């Protein structure tokens, strides 16, 4: 299947499917069976690119189907719930003018799903790509691109040569995925559950440009558009996957990156277990987190610390995470992973609007699979 566009990259990349062999998450969840998915039914094609298709589980007892929408495969076990909860981002139009989008934003109002999506895009696009924006002011209290600093410090701790596919878990709008492709001439897969962010990342693959709503104040947004071209974009793809139930066989990746994701998933422990499972022997993973726990993302019972200050660890998330990794002494320690290095306070800054910013000192741990 040929899926190339003007930029020489593909929206559905057969090479990624061939190398990574994503498996049916329902079969994996129900029976622990690894049933590799197949690309079937190319329903909508652009010029030399597949925009819509159906992925099918070949297991005759399953035959589950997973959609590819706007070039993004959605490979999650509970597909019905995911699509029903993401109706707006999945069906959202991206051809509206700035004026019309602004008018609709006024109609939807603050606190709406539409407003929340624009705010998230504003915050993460600034952090990931603001350094490429020629209109971005040099006088901003927070410089864009701080997530690249987190990634750079993490990669400095990787001493082993990376040979084989790389996964960027919780990739958001994709800059770290592109940078990993620049650092390693390997297949790099960015996965996230936020469809709107992945659509933004995929649009860079498609057009080599970023268009995003930059929040100025309240529900006032300014549209920003500028080039975002990466030399090894041909190695990159973006899929919807669950960080706590990844649809891949064991020992599939030579490097896993989980930047500021641990406190955003439903089960941080399951996420760590999945990191151990998908890594190849002696491969490494970068794990960073500000421990900004919220019950909206993670049930309190699943937090790693951040509660029960009466416990022996006095609610310390850092101690809890260390104890879960090999040699940490936790009864449910993940013995396959061992800590290689740590950095206590790497700066990570987020822009909310012209007069609102957040600064985190994130905890970074580098682990290696035994």
Q: What is the DSSP string of 228-251?
A: ---TTGGGEEEEE-BTTB-SS-SS
What pLDDT, on a 0 to 100 scale, did the predictor assign at position 328?
A: 65
- Total number of domains in the chain: 2
H-helix or E-strand containing 88? helix 87-91
Position 327 confidence tier, pLDDT thresholds 50, 70, 90? low
Burial class (CB in 10 A: 0-12, 13-18, 19+), 179: buried
Tokens of 184: 């390693």
**Is residue 64 domain-shared with residue 171, that is, in the same domain?**
no
Place of tokens 């009864």: 331
Strands 65-69 vs 72-73: parallel, antiparallel or unpaired: antiparallel
**Is residue 301 domain-shared with residue 164, that is, in the same domain?**
yes
**Is residue 274 domain-shared with residue 170, that is, in the same domain?**
yes
**Is residue 166 domain-shared with residue 291, that is, in the same domain?**
yes
Reported as a single tens digit per residue, the pLDDT across 172-183 is 999 999 999 999
Our measurement of the distance from residue 71's CA atom to the centroid of its chain's CA atoms, rounded to an integer in Å, reads: 16
Reported as a single tens digit per residue, the pLDDT across 57-108 is 999 999 999 999 988 999 999 999 999 999 888 888 888 899 999 999 999 9
Q: How far apart are CA 365 and CA 322, in angstroms?
A: 9
Last residue of a domain, one of 61, 85, 109: 85
**Is residue 154 domain-shared with residue 294, that is, in the same domain?**
yes
pLDDT at 330 over 90: no
Tokens of 90: 């999945």
Tell which wins on pLDDT, 12 or 122.
Answer: 122
Residue 332 lies in a domain: yes
Is pTM beyond 0.85? Reply is: yes
Residue 136 lies in a domain: no
Q: How far apart are CA 347 and CA 113, in angstroms?
A: 30
Residue 91 lies in a domain: no
**Is residue 203 domain-shared with residue 343, that is, in the same domain?**
yes
Last residue of a domain, one of 85, 116, 131: 85
What pLDDT, on a 0 to 100 scale, did the predictor assign at position 1?
A: 37
Q: How far apart are CA 78 and CA 60, in angstroms?
A: 19
DSSP SS3 for 23: strand
Reported as a single tens digit per residue, the pLDDT across 8-59 is 333 456 677 788 999 999 999 887 888 999 988 777 776 555 678 899 999 9
Strands 220-227 vs 209-217: parallel, antiparallel or unpaired: antiparallel
Residue 104 lies in a domain: no
**Is residue 236 domain-shared with residue 351, that is, in the same domain?**
yes
Give me the CATH number covering residue 247.
Answer: 3.40.50.150
Residue 127 lies in a domain: no
Residue 151 lies in a domain: yes
Last residue of a domain, one of 47, 69, 85: 85
**Is residue 78 domain-shared with residue 182, that is, in the same domain?**
no
What pLDDT, on a 0 to 100 scale, did the predictor assign at position 46?
A: 63
Residue 8 lies in a domain: no
Place of tokens 């006032």: 220
Q: Which domain holds residue 298?
A: 144-208+230-369
Position 165 confidence tier, pLDDT thresholds 50, 70, 90? very high
Reported as a single tens digit per residue, the pLDDT across 142-151 is 889 999 999 9
**Is residue 152 domain-shared with residue 30, that is, in the same domain?**
no
Tell which wins on pLDDT, 328 or 216.
Answer: 216
**Is residue 45 domain-shared with residue 184, that is, in the same domain?**
no
Our measurement of the distance from residue 314's CA atom to the centroid of its chain's CA atoms, rounded to an integer in Å, reads: 31
Is the CA virtual torsion 298, 300, 302, 304 positive or negative?
Answer: positive
**Is residue 353 domain-shared with residue 277, that is, in the same domain?**
yes
Position 294 confidence tier, pLDDT thresholds 50, 70, 90? very high
What pLDDT, on a 0 to 100 scale, did the predictor assign at position 314?
A: 82
Reported as a single tens digit per residue, the pLDDT across 296-314 is 999 999 999 988 887 777 8
Residue 45 lies in a domain: yes
3-state secondary structure 322-355: HHHECCCCCCCCECCEEEEEEEEEEEEEEEEECC
**Is residue 173 domain-shared with residue 296, that is, in the same domain?**
yes
């Amino acid at each position: 299947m040929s899926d190339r566009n003007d930029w020489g990259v593909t929206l559905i990349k057969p090479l990624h499917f061939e190398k990574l062999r994503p498996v049916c998450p329902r079969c994996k969840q129900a029976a622990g069976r690894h049933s590799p998915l197949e690309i079937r039914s190319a329903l909508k094609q652009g010029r030399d690119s597949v925009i819509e298709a159906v992925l099918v589980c070949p297991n005759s007892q399953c035959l589950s189907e997973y959609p590819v929408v706007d070039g993004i495969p959605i490979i999650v076990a509970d597909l019905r719930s995911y699509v029903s909860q993401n109706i707006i981002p999945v069906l959202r139009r991206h051809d509206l003018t700035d004026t019309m989008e602004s008018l609709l934003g006024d109609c939807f109002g603050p606190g709406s799903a539409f407003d929340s999506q624009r705010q998230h895009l504003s915050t993460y696009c600034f952090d990931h790509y603001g350094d490429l924006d020629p209109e971005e002011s040099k006088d901003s209290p927070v410089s864009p691109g701080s997530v690249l600093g987190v990634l750079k410090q993490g990669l400095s701790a990787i001493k082993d040569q990376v040979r084989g596919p790389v996964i960027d878990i919780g990739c958001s709008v994709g800059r770290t995925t592109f940078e990993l492709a620049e650092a390693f001439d390997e297949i790099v897969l960015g996965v996230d559950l936020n469809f709107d962010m992945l659509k933004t990342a995929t649009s860079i693959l498609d057009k080599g440009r970023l268009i995003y709503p930059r929040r100025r104040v309240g529900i006032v947004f300014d549209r920003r558009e500028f080039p975002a071209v990466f030399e090894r974009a041909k190695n990159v793809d973006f899929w919807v996957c669950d960080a706590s139930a990844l649809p891949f066989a064991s020992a599939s990746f030579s490097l896993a990156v989980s930047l500021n994701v641990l406190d955003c998933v439903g089960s941080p422990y399951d996420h760590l277990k999945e990191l151990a499972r998908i890594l190849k022997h002696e491969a490494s993973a970068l794990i960073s987190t500000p421990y900004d726990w919220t019950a909206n993302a993670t049930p309190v019972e699943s937090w790693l610390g951040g509660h029960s200050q009466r416990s022996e660890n006095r609610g310390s998330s850092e101690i809890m995470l260390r104890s879960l990794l090999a040699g940490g002494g936790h009864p449910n320690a993940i013995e396959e992973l061992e800590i290689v290095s740590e950095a206590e306070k790497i700066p990570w800054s987020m822009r909310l609007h012209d007069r609102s910013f957040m600064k985190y000192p994130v905890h970074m741990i580098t682990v290696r699979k035994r």
